[in-house]
């Protein structure tokens, strides 16, 4: 295959790793140069909150120099330091945990949708560390004011039924505690473990001392966190020693979440698509898109730094996507091109994302001509003739992932028009420029 035979695009930098690297740099003693962090609204939210708490940022091209907080996160003395999350759920959960490990008054607030997204499991864990929590409106939801005087350490419990970001936030904050912290996972189930692995990877890269322990015959034993594939509440815990983040330079890898739209385009379009900047050795959970598309029948080739997907006849699959929920809208749209039904399970936590992504994904597939059925924690896509030749305005729900995934319907011969194209700035401001390369290459 020559370069003329396929469409070539570049994956943006990982949003998840950009959040974590910038936070780690902000918690360091000196300066850290973060190379290739994602430039997006969500990342800007995190940087603004870290600045409010005492960090400094200097941007020079693709390098961001972070000057760490002098004595950890600092809030207000008489009036709360306002941590404005807008609609960034990742920022909200990670930064709220950091504020709890800081000192002073902090107010966590955001958009009306953010105020409908739960945070009570996280603030409950913070209360066990002596943080005074005051909700402004609904208990368990932002806006919330925290009065903090540093983490005590010792034991705290956290449920991951709603989000793994609660644990990631506590892990990033725990090194600031006065003594060793043990974080126990409780509840009925745990979702999105790969995102926790990303957090641990960044902590290791920044020289934080920690252990992951699992229960064996009634005794806790240290395990290699890289080999943990499933989190069983009550049978895993995290031991974090007081330590300081420390790294001179950190490079952010490409984003499998935002690369997923181009991977799907390669499978359902009429020309192969090569996505550069994706590492097949990545710990990102959304690398699962490669294996899901393969299971559906897509022909995929890869090397150390790129992935190429070829036009393929897709078949329906049944797949548990609890570990990679951000891919569900992409897979739902790709499934509408298949020749048999696809069922995606264990994704109830999608209902508390930027929108109810189960309802939204179903609605937009049906708008394009497909059929969809949903339950409390699953969605089934039943292929039907798509509306080739029609102009369809797809609802975007102020949700970047819905805007980007519905663009794929252009490859069915639909004139796909996003209701709010600008909402992609949340995670991928350059998406439409890259997508134009896809549609032009496919003759759309």
Neighbours of 304 (CB within 10 A): 8
HSE (CB half, 13 Å, CA atoms) of 344? Answer: 33
Neighbours of 444 (CB within 10 A): 17
For the chain, which residues make up each domain, given as ranges? 15-240, 254-441
Distance of alpha carbon 227 from alpha carbon 130, whole angstroms: 34
The rounded mean pLDDT for the chain is 96
Distance of alpha carbon 164 from alpha carbon 158, whole angstroms: 9
**Separation in Å, CA 40 to CA 49, 213, 325, 401:** 14, 35, 20, 14
Is 407 strand, coil or helix?
helix
What is the strand order of the sheet 31-35 is part of?
56-60, 63-67, 31-35, 249-251
If residue 98 lies in a helix (H) or strand (E), which one and from where to where? Answer: helix 89-100
In this prediction the pTM is 0.93
Is 311 strand, coil or helix?
coil
Q: Report, as an integer, the average pLDDT of 97-126.
A: 97
Tell me which residues are annotated as active site. Answer: 326
Question: Tokens standing for 75?
Answer: 């809030």
Q: Report, as an integer, the average pLDDT of 237-252.
A: 97
HSE (CB half, 13 Å, CA atoms) of 405? Answer: 29
pLDDT tens string 76-92 = 999 999 999 999 999 99
Distance of alpha carbon 405 from alpha carbon 261, whole angstroms: 6
Distance of alpha carbon 444 from alpha carbon 438, whole angstroms: 9
Q: Which residues pair with 310 in a beta bridge?
A: 299
Of 152, 45, 132, the residue nearest 94 (C-alpha): 45
Distance of alpha carbon 56 from alpha carbon 27, whole angstroms: 11
pLDDT for 1? 52
Is 362 strand, coil or helix?
helix
Confidence check: pLDDT of 53 > 90: yes
Superfamily classification of domain 254-441? Enolpyruvate transferase domain (3.65.10.10)
pLDDT for 40? 97
Q: Report, as an integer, the average pLDDT of 425-437.
A: 97
Distance of alpha carbon 312 from alpha carbon 411, whole angstroms: 13
Percent residues over pLDDT 70 in the chain: 99
Confidence check: pLDDT of 328 > 70: yes
pLDDT for 144? 98
Give 5's pLDDT tier (boundaries 50, 70, 90).
Answer: confident
Neighbours of 339 (CB within 10 A): 11
If residue 167 lies in a helix (H) or strand (E), which one and from where to where? Answer: helix 165-173
More reliable by pLDDT, 3 or 399: 399
Give 229's pLDDT tier (boundaries 50, 70, 90).
Answer: confident
Residues 6 or more apart in contact with residue 251 via CB below 8 angstroms = 34, 35, 36
Confidence check: pLDDT of 351 > 70: yes
CATH of domain 15-240: 3.65.10.10
Give 191's pLDDT tier (boundaries 50, 70, 90).
Answer: confident
Distance of alpha carbon 120 from alpha carbon 122, whole angstroms: 5
Confidence check: pLDDT of 190 > 90: no
Q: Do domains 15-240 and 254-441 have the same CATH topology?
A: yes
Residue that the structure tokens 């995290």 belong to: 238
Is 218 strand, coil or helix?
coil
Give the burial class of 270: count Cβ atoms within 10 A of its Cβ; 0-12 exposed, 13-18 middle, 19 or more buried.
exposed
């Amino acid at each position: 295959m020559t370069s003329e035979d396929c469409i070539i695009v570049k994956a943006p930098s990982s949003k998840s790793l950009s959040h974590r690297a910038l936070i780690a740099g902000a918690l360091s003693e000196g300066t850290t140069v973060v190379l290739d962090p994602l430039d997006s609204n969500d990342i800007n939210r995190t940087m603004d909150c870290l600045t409010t708490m005492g960090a400094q940022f200097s941007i020079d091209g693709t390098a961001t120099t972070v000057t760490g907080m002098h004595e950890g996160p600092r809030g207000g003395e008489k009036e709360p330091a306002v941590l404005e999350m807008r609609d960034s759920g990742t920022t909200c959960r990670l930064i709220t945990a950091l504020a709890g490990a800081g000192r002073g008054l902090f107010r966590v607030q955001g958009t009306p949708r953010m105020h409908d997204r739960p945070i009570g499991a996280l603030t409950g864990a913070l209360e066990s560390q002596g943080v005074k929590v005051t909700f402004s409106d609904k208990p368990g939801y932002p806006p919330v004011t925290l009065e903090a005087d540093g983490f005590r350490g010792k034991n705290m419990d956290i449920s991951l039924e709603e989000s793994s970001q609660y644990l990631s936030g506590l892990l990033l904050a725990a090194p600031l505690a006065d003594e060793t912290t043990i974080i126990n996972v409780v509840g009925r189930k745990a979702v999105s473990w790969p995102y926790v692995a990303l957090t641990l990877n960044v902590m290791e890269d920044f020289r934080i001392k920690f252990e992951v322990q699992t229960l064996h015959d009634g005794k806790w034993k240290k395990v290699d966190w890289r080999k943990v594939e499933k989190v069983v509440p009550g049978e895993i815990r995290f031991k974090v020693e007081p330590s300081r983040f420390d790294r001179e330079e950190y490079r952010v890898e490409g984003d499998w979440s935002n690369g997923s739209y181009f991977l799907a385009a390669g499978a359902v379009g009429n020309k192969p698509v090569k996505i550069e900047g994706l590492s097949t050795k990545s710990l990102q959970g959304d690398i699962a898109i490669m294996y899901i598309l393969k299971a559906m029948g897509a022909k995929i080739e890869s090397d150390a730094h790129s992935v190429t997907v070829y036009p393929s006849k897709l078949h329906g699959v049944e797949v548990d996507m609890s570990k990679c929920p951000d891919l569900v809208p992409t897979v739902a749209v790709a499934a509408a091109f298949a020749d048999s039904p696809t069922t995606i399970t264990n994704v109830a936590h999608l209902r508390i994302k930027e929108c109810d992504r189960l309802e939204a994904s179903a609605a937009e597939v049906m708008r394009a001509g497909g059929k969809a059925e949903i339950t409390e924690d699953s969605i089934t896509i039943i292929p039907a003739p798509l509306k080739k030749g029609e102009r369809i305005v797809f609802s975007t729900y102020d949700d970047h992932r819905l805007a980007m995934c519905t663009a794929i319907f252009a490859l069915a011969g639909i004139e796909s028009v996003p209701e709010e194209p600008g909402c992609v700035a949340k995670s991928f401001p350059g998406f439409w420029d890259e997508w134009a390369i896809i549609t032009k290459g496919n003759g759309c």
